[in-house]
Chains A and B, each alone.
Chain A
Protein backbone atom coordinates (compact mmCIF):
# COMPACT_ATOMS: atom_id res chain seq x y z
CA UNK A 1 0.00 0.00 0.00
CA UNK A 2 3.04 2.31 -0.36
CA UNK A 3 2.13 4.14 -3.61
CA UNK A 4 4.65 6.95 -4.16
CA UNK A 5 7.43 7.30 -1.61
CA UNK A 6 9.67 10.36 -1.35
CA UNK A 7 12.78 10.86 0.73
CA UNK A 8 13.72 12.87 2.66
CA UNK A 9 10.64 14.57 4.14
CA UNK A 10 12.54 17.62 5.34
CA UNK A 11 15.90 19.13 4.39
CA UNK A 12 17.82 22.30 5.12
CA UNK A 13 20.65 23.22 2.76
CA UNK A 14 23.14 26.03 2.63
CA UNK A 15 23.38 28.06 -0.56
CA UNK A 16 25.63 26.26 -3.03
CA UNK A 17 25.21 22.79 -1.55
CA UNK A 18 23.90 19.93 -3.64
CA UNK A 19 21.39 17.22 -2.90
CA UNK A 20 19.22 14.58 -4.53
CA UNK A 21 15.55 14.01 -3.79
CA UNK A 22 14.52 10.40 -4.21
CA UNK A 23 11.18 9.11 -5.46
CA UNK A 24 9.94 5.56 -5.97
CA UNK A 25 6.56 4.17 -7.00
CA UNK A 26 5.28 0.61 -6.72
CA UNK A 27 2.24 0.89 -9.04
CA UNK A 28 4.05 -0.04 -12.27
CA UNK A 29 3.26 3.38 -13.74
CA UNK A 30 4.98 4.51 -16.90
CA UNK A 31 5.06 8.25 -16.22
CA UNK A 32 6.64 10.13 -13.33
CA UNK A 33 6.79 13.83 -12.48
CA UNK A 34 8.44 16.35 -10.19
CA UNK A 35 6.48 19.43 -9.11
CA UNK A 36 7.26 22.28 -6.78
CA UNK A 37 4.62 23.99 -4.67
CA UNK A 38 4.96 27.63 -3.71
CA UNK A 39 2.39 29.78 -1.88
CA UNK A 40 -0.22 31.26 -4.22
CA UNK A 41 1.22 29.52 -7.27
CA UNK A 42 -0.22 26.05 -7.18
CA UNK A 43 2.04 23.25 -8.36
CA UNK A 44 4.45 23.83 -11.21
CA UNK A 45 6.04 21.05 -13.23
CA UNK A 46 9.84 20.88 -13.05
CA UNK A 47 10.61 17.74 -15.08
CA UNK A 48 8.76 14.67 -16.15
CA UNK A 49 9.46 11.24 -17.56
CA UNK A 50 6.84 9.84 -19.92
CA UNK A 51 8.43 6.40 -19.83
CA UNK A 52 11.55 4.64 -18.64
CA UNK A 53 14.58 6.06 -20.42
CA UNK A 54 13.07 9.44 -21.30
CA UNK A 55 13.00 12.77 -19.47
CA UNK A 56 11.71 16.20 -20.50
CA UNK A 57 11.65 19.70 -19.11
CA UNK A 58 8.53 21.12 -17.58
CA UNK A 59 7.60 24.69 -16.77
CA UNK A 60 10.42 25.52 -14.32
CA UNK A 61 13.47 23.27 -15.01
CA UNK A 62 16.32 25.74 -14.40
CA UNK A 63 18.64 24.71 -11.58
CA UNK A 64 17.48 21.09 -11.57
CA UNK A 65 18.43 17.78 -13.17
CA UNK A 66 16.63 14.46 -13.13
CA UNK A 67 17.38 10.78 -13.61
CA UNK A 68 14.88 8.05 -14.43
CA UNK A 69 16.89 5.24 -12.90
CA UNK A 70 14.40 2.50 -13.81
CA UNK A 71 10.64 2.21 -14.10
CA UNK A 72 10.19 2.63 -10.33
CA UNK A 73 12.57 5.46 -9.51
CA UNK A 74 12.84 9.09 -10.56
CA UNK A 75 15.29 11.38 -8.75
CA UNK A 76 15.62 15.17 -8.73
CA UNK A 77 19.02 16.79 -8.20
CA UNK A 78 19.88 20.31 -7.15
CA UNK A 79 23.51 20.85 -8.14
CA UNK A 80 24.00 24.22 -6.42
CA UNK A 81 21.07 25.15 -4.22
CA UNK A 82 19.75 28.71 -4.15
CA UNK A 83 17.27 30.37 -1.75
CA UNK A 84 14.79 30.60 -4.65
CA UNK A 85 14.60 26.81 -4.56
CA UNK A 86 13.08 26.86 -1.09
CA UNK A 87 9.81 25.06 -1.70
CA UNK A 88 7.82 21.89 -1.16
CA UNK A 89 8.63 19.28 -3.78
CA UNK A 90 6.19 16.59 -4.86
CA UNK A 91 6.83 13.52 -6.91
CA UNK A 92 3.93 11.92 -8.77
CA UNK A 93 3.29 8.98 -11.07
CA UNK A 94 0.55 8.03 -13.51
CA UNK A 95 -0.23 5.18 -15.91
CA UNK A 96 0.17 7.34 -19.06
CA UNK A 97 -3.38 6.82 -20.23
CA UNK A 98 -5.80 9.55 -21.17
CA UNK A 99 -8.10 10.52 -18.33
CA UNK A 100 -6.13 8.82 -15.60
CA UNK A 101 -5.08 10.69 -12.53
CA UNK A 102 -1.65 11.16 -11.02
CA UNK A 103 -0.73 9.81 -7.61
CA UNK A 104 1.38 11.97 -5.33
CA UNK A 105 3.99 11.40 -2.68
CA UNK A 106 3.92 13.12 0.72
CA UNK A 107 6.31 15.85 -0.33
CA UNK A 108 9.77 17.10 0.64
CA UNK A 109 10.00 20.44 2.41
CA UNK A 110 13.29 22.02 1.36
CA UNK A 111 14.74 25.18 2.87
CA UNK A 112 17.83 26.81 1.38
CA UNK A 113 19.53 29.32 3.66
Chain B
Protein backbone atom coordinates (compact mmCIF):
# COMPACT_ATOMS: atom_id res chain seq x y z
CA UNK B 1 0.00 0.00 0.00
CA UNK B 2 0.90 3.67 -0.05
CA UNK B 3 3.35 4.92 2.55
CA UNK B 4 5.44 7.96 3.46
CA UNK B 5 8.77 7.95 5.27
CA UNK B 6 10.08 11.12 6.83
CA UNK B 7 13.40 12.11 8.28
CA UNK B 8 13.39 11.36 11.98
CA UNK B 9 13.47 14.23 14.38
CA UNK B 10 13.65 16.21 16.40
CA UNK B 11 15.67 18.72 14.41
CA UNK B 12 17.23 21.73 16.13
CA UNK B 13 18.79 24.57 14.15
CA UNK B 14 19.97 28.09 14.72
CA UNK B 15 18.15 31.03 13.19
CA UNK B 16 19.16 31.69 9.54
CA UNK B 17 20.40 28.12 9.05
CA UNK B 18 19.50 26.07 5.96
CA UNK B 19 16.76 23.48 6.47
CA UNK B 20 16.16 20.17 4.74
CA UNK B 21 13.60 17.63 5.90
CA UNK B 22 13.69 14.46 3.84
CA UNK B 23 10.55 12.71 2.64
CA UNK B 24 10.25 9.63 0.44
CA UNK B 25 7.13 7.81 -0.59
CA UNK B 26 5.84 4.53 -1.95
CA UNK B 27 2.74 4.65 -4.09
CA UNK B 28 1.15 3.18 -7.14
CA UNK B 29 0.49 5.64 -9.91
CA UNK B 30 1.05 9.35 -9.48
CA UNK B 31 -0.22 10.69 -6.18
CA UNK B 32 -0.32 14.32 -5.16
CA UNK B 33 2.22 15.26 -2.50
CA UNK B 34 1.82 17.69 0.39
CA UNK B 35 3.67 19.27 3.28
CA UNK B 36 1.55 20.22 6.27
CA UNK B 37 2.69 22.21 9.30
CA UNK B 38 1.35 22.01 12.85
CA UNK B 39 2.09 24.85 15.23
CA UNK B 40 1.83 24.17 18.97
CA UNK B 41 -1.75 23.57 20.07
CA UNK B 42 -3.18 23.90 16.59
CA UNK B 43 -4.48 21.73 13.79
CA UNK B 44 -2.62 21.00 10.57
CA UNK B 45 -2.28 23.65 7.89
CA UNK B 46 -1.25 23.09 4.32
CA UNK B 47 2.22 24.49 3.71
CA UNK B 48 2.68 23.54 0.06
CA UNK B 49 1.76 20.90 -2.49
CA UNK B 50 2.71 19.42 -5.86
CA UNK B 51 0.39 17.43 -8.06
CA UNK B 52 2.67 16.02 -10.76
CA UNK B 53 6.27 15.03 -11.37
CA UNK B 54 8.81 17.91 -11.47
CA UNK B 55 6.30 20.35 -9.98
CA UNK B 56 7.74 22.62 -7.31
CA UNK B 57 5.52 23.72 -4.46
CA UNK B 58 6.48 26.84 -2.53
CA UNK B 59 5.13 28.98 0.29
CA UNK B 60 6.57 31.23 3.03
CA UNK B 61 10.12 30.60 1.77
CA UNK B 62 9.72 26.81 1.88
CA UNK B 63 10.08 24.72 -1.28
CA UNK B 64 9.73 21.08 -2.28
CA UNK B 65 10.03 19.41 -5.68
CA UNK B 66 8.12 16.30 -6.72
CA UNK B 67 10.85 13.87 -7.86
CA UNK B 68 9.33 10.79 -9.42
CA UNK B 69 12.67 9.17 -10.23
CA UNK B 70 13.73 9.18 -6.57
CA UNK B 71 10.16 9.07 -5.15
CA UNK B 72 11.01 12.04 -2.95
CA UNK B 73 9.53 15.37 -1.87
CA UNK B 74 12.14 16.96 0.39
CA UNK B 75 11.27 20.20 2.18
CA UNK B 76 13.85 23.02 2.09
CA UNK B 77 14.19 26.56 3.35
CA UNK B 78 17.21 28.75 2.87
CA UNK B 79 17.07 30.71 6.13
CA UNK B 80 14.86 29.56 8.98
CA UNK B 81 13.30 31.77 11.64
CA UNK B 82 12.25 31.11 15.21
CA UNK B 83 8.63 31.31 14.03
CA UNK B 84 9.22 28.22 11.84
CA UNK B 85 9.39 26.04 14.95
CA UNK B 86 6.62 23.46 14.47
CA UNK B 87 5.96 19.86 13.47
CA UNK B 88 6.12 19.18 9.74
CA UNK B 89 4.26 16.34 8.04
CA UNK B 90 4.81 14.97 4.56
CA UNK B 91 1.73 13.35 3.02
CA UNK B 92 0.43 11.86 -0.19
CA UNK B 93 -3.11 11.53 -1.40
CA UNK B 94 -4.70 8.40 -2.66
CA UNK B 95 -5.21 8.97 -6.37
CA UNK B 96 -8.51 7.14 -6.43
CA UNK B 97 -11.65 7.22 -4.39
CA UNK B 98 -11.90 9.60 -1.48
CA UNK B 99 -8.46 11.24 -1.77
CA UNK B 100 -7.41 9.89 1.59
CA UNK B 101 -4.17 11.33 2.92
CA UNK B 102 -1.34 9.07 4.06
CA UNK B 103 1.05 10.84 6.46
CA UNK B 104 4.63 10.43 7.47
CA UNK B 105 5.40 10.32 11.18
CA UNK B 106 6.16 14.05 11.43
CA UNK B 107 9.39 15.94 12.15
CA UNK B 108 9.58 18.34 15.07
CA UNK B 109 11.65 21.40 14.20
CA UNK B 110 13.00 23.81 16.80
CA UNK B 111 14.79 27.00 15.79
CA UNK B 112 16.94 28.71 18.40
CA UNK B 113 17.63 32.46 18.25
Contacts and interface: CB of A to CB of B under 8 A. Distances in A.
Interface of A: 4, 31, 33, 35, 40-45, 48-50, 56, 58, 90, 92, 94, 96-107
B46 A101 contact: yes
A36 to B, nearest CB: 11
Interface string B29-43: 000101010000011
Contacts, number: 65
Interface stretch (B11-19, B71-79, B98-106): B98-106
A97 B99 contact: yes
A105 B42 CA distance: 8
Contacts of B93: 98-99
15 contacts: A35-B103, A40-B106, A42-B104, A45-B100, A50-B97, A50-B98, A96-B98, A98-B93, A98-B99, A99-B32, A99-B49, A99-B51, A100-B99, A103-B46, A104-B36
A48 B45 CA distance: 19
When A and B form their complex, which 3 residue pairs have the shortest distance between CB atoms, in order from nearest? A50-B98, A99-B51, A42-B103
Interface of B: 4, 6, 32, 34, 36, 42-46, 49, 51, 89, 93, 95, 97-106
Given A99-B93, A101-B34, A101-B49, A90 B43 contact: yes
Contacts of B49: 99, 101
Given A42-B6, A42-B104, 4 more contacts: A31-B98, A42-B4, A45-B102, A94-B99
B89 A42 contact: yes
Contacts of A90: 43-44
Nearest to A40: B105
Contacts of A43: 44, 89, 101, 103
Contacts of B51: 98-99
A107 B49 CA distance: 22
Contacts of A100: 99
Contact of B100 (A33, A41, A105): A33
Contacts of B105: 40-42
Contacts of B104: 42
